[in-house]
Structure 1
Amino acid sequence: MPEGDTVLQTARRLDAALAGRVLTVFDLRVPRFATADLTGRSVLGVSSRGKHLLTRFEGGLTLHSHLRMDGAWRVYGPGERRRGGPDHQIRAVLGNRERTAVGYRLPVLELLRTRDETRVVGHLGPDLLGADWDPDTALRNLLADPGRRIGDALLDQRNLAGIGNVYMCELCFMARATPWLPVGELEPPVPTLLVSTAKQLLEANRDRPMRTTTRATAALAAGGSRDRLFVYGRAGRPCLRCGTLIRTAERDDRPTYWCPRCQSGPTS
């Protein structure tokens, strides 16, 4: 599931394949930009902002994309078989003589002036993996609405950018609170620890091919467990901390996982 660490890794792969090279292929398969043609222009670079990807071209243009739940970018060499999905799922093709980047199932894809990037990412809170990271601002944002559920506050990219459903469930477990508990009911210093732990987890996973929270740091390790995650995707399996069976529920069309013994608070 694409979260801040996954999107950063995607940006790195795209940047390595495209930056500093002249486009020989530029194909956006969305009606609004289907006639756009940037072949002959150089790619200046690719960067991530929270869960957003920004590919910048000479001439002051930026391609903004967002993976959401199912989107993906794949990079291929000359003649390499494309394995990202069927052709009808392709939304973008950016290529040069050495590499071709193909965007599949991209729900957000738009070409805009680079000077207008704030229109699509200016609303975001501090980026957990970005140069603008500010834990104090992130904490203030998180606590701005004390009655809001923790899970909703963590997933709101306007508070802090980069947390998705996996990290939300894992962070709530580490805070020993259910995702439905109002954030204002967290006792100090738990909110501060939530912010610092979120940063710690994404930093620990930014270079990992497989995300883990149980082995992200020694302080958070789960006693030699082979499980990569504490609760996410573990419904019906024993909690790594207490042995109680992990529960799951659908929440806003996304699965939420928690331990009914380790985590206190409402369950809906």
Structure 2
Amino acid sequence: MESRGKWLLIHFTGDLILVTHMLMSGSWHIYRRGERWRRTRIHMRAVIATNDFEAVAFDVPVASFHTARTLERNTSIPKLGPDLLQGSFSEDEAIKRLVLRGEEEVANVLLNQQVLAGIGNVFKSEICFSCGVSPFTRVSALSSAQVECLMSTARRLLAANVSESAGPGIVTYSGGRRTTGAADPGARLWVYGRRGKQCRRCGTIILMRKQGVGARSTYWCPQCQPLPLAANDGGGGEVEGWSTPVRRTRIGCS
């Protein structure tokens, strides 16, 4: 089994590889033989069965077989950057890939799976908030301390949302994403999805703006995450509710 972002590669003997992509709704379930599925068969795309277990792909829109050679030629399946959840994660390599994107906005770079593998849209906003970094800051304007904070916080927040208690390896956390550490389910996230609400740290109103080629929703606190005062307008013009940033030097990795 090999994961590449939301691509899942299942390697069989005889040079046969099943490649699936989850997009936004797909999932794999594992059941004991004879156990009742939690989804109906109309949602089933593929089943892999042994004498004891069944792995069922539900609502997986992309599923195809490959050999090692055809997989290598397939340009739609990405060659990922360092995986934040792997024990072999190389921070030096990740930082090298990050700084090469100097003219891009940091939140967009965090989503680039060829730079760092594992960060999705929710965590993008949460990581930037936790480090006090404006998501519209160009990578070239980041300090070394900010880069280190982004890396360490990304690993910590992602690791907090998986569990190894069921056995060896990583099992996806089944609850909602969580970054604040609060026990209250309604206070799981710092900024994501909280447009118009008060910042949990300073009380400033959380803003939201579409960002990047995919127009992904980005949430941030303009007080806790000031844009650098240098000529860096984030490349997106005016933002509704934008206030003049306050110069701050504190970097929080909480």
Q: Determine if the alignment matches structure 1 residue 83 to structure 2 residue 9.
A: no
The partner residue of 1:104 within 39, 58, 75 is 58
Match of 2:193 in 1: 233
The partner residue of 2:108 within 152, 156, 164 is 152
Alpha-carbon distance in 1 for matches of 2:140, 2:84: 22
Contact 2:131 2:153 in 1 (8 A): no
Shift of 1:82: 3.2
Alpha-carbon distance in 2 for matches of 1:119, 1:132: 26
CA-to-aligned-CA distance 1:62-101 (integer Å, 9 cap, x gap)? 21222232221122344444334661x4322222333322
Could you say if the C-alpha distance between residues 244 and 166 of structure 1 is closer, same or farther in structure 2, counting changes exceeding 3 Å?
Answer: same
Once the two structures are aligned, what percentage of the paired residues are identical?
40
Contact 2:78 2:114 in 1 (8 A): no
Match of 2:209 in 1: 249
- When normalised by structure 1's length, the TM-score is 0.70
Contact 1:51 1:161 in 2 (8 A): no
Shift of 1:114: 4.2
The partner residue of 1:258 within 215, 220, 223 is 220
Output the amino acid matched with 1:214: T
Q: Determine if the alignment matches structure 1 residue 92 to structure 2 residue 46.
A: yes
Local SS of the residue matching 1:197: helix
Shift of 1:115: 6.2
Output the amino acid matched with 1:259: C
Output the amino acid matched with 2:62: V
The partner residue of 1:140 within 79, 87, 96 is 96
Output the amino acid matched with 1:233: G
- When normalised by structure 2's length, the TM-score is 0.74
Alpha-carbon distance in 2 for matches of 1:154, 1:148: 10
Q: Determine if the alignment matches structure 1 residue 212 to structure 2 residue 183.
A: no
Alpha-carbon distance in 1 for matches of 2:72, 2:160: 28
Match of 2:239 in 1: none
CA-to-aligned-CA distance 1:202-229 (integer Å, 9 cap, x gap)? 22322144332112xxxxxx7x776221
Local SS of the residue matching 2:55: strand
Consecutive unaligned residues of structure 2, counting only runs of 5 or more, are 164-172, 228-232, 237-254
Alpha-carbon distance in 1 for matches of 2:156, 2:73: 29
Shift of 1:186: 1.4
The partner residue of 2:82 within 126, 131, 149 is 126
Aligned length: 215
Shift of 1:178: 2.6
Alpha-carbon distance in 2 for matches of 1:63, 1:131: 25
Shift of 1:133: 1.3
Alpha-carbon distance in 2 for matches of 1:173, 1:138: 20
CA-to-aligned-CA distance 1:89-122 (integer Å, 9 cap, x gap)? 4322222333322212323322112466555666
Could you say if the C-alpha distance between residues 110 and 148 of structure 1 is closer, same or farther in structure 2, counting changes exceeding 3 Å?
Answer: same
More helix, by proportion: 1
Instruction: Name the Cα RMSD after superposition.
Output: 2.6
Output the amino acid matched with 1:255: S
User: Which shows bigger deviation, 169-178 or 112-121?
Assistant: 112-121
4+ long deviations beyond 4 Å: 114-122
Output the amino acid matched with 2:196: G
Local SS of the residue matching 1:127: coil
Output the amino acid matched with 1:90: M
Local SS of the residue matching 2:160: helix
CA-to-aligned-CA distance 1:223-266 (integer Å, 9 cap, x gap)? x7762211112223221111122222334243221112211225
Local SS of the residue matching 1:189: helix
